């Protein structure tokens, strides 16, 4: 899958960087994730840069990872 388990500020998170060939395609993917997370009511951190988008999922309420984050990670992959 390519998702990494990272710990930032003491909170475990799922993170993956998606590569694109320019800025516009990266931003387009960010917007697809935006539509998904609004629909699901669960919001990640989305870092948009030239040629790449880094997505980080975790559950704010439990300050860590819930099974839902793994589901959202899989749904993020499916947006490609």
CA pseudo-torsion sign 30, 55, 8, 39: positive
Regarding 50 and contact with its own copies (CB under 8 A), the answer is: yes
**How near is the Cβ of 73 to its own copies at its closest, in Å?**
17
Site string for its own copies, 5-44 (x = CB under 8 A): ------------------xx--x--xx--x--xx----xx
Residue 15: phi and psi, rounded to 5, are -135, 140
- Please report, as ranges, the residues that interact with its own copies according to CB under 8 A: 23-24, 27, 30-31, 34, 37-38, 43-50
């Amino acid at each position: 899958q390519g998702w990494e388990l990272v710990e930032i500020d003491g909170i475990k998170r799922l993170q993956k960087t998606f590569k694109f060939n320019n800025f516009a395609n990266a931003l387009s993917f960010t917007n697809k994730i935006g539509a998904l997370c609004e629909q699901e009511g669960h919001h990640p951190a989305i870092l948009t840069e030239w040629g790449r988008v880094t997505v980080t999922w975790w559950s704010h309420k439990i300050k860590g990872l819930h099974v839902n984050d793994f589901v959202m990670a899989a749904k993020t992959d499916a947006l490609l």
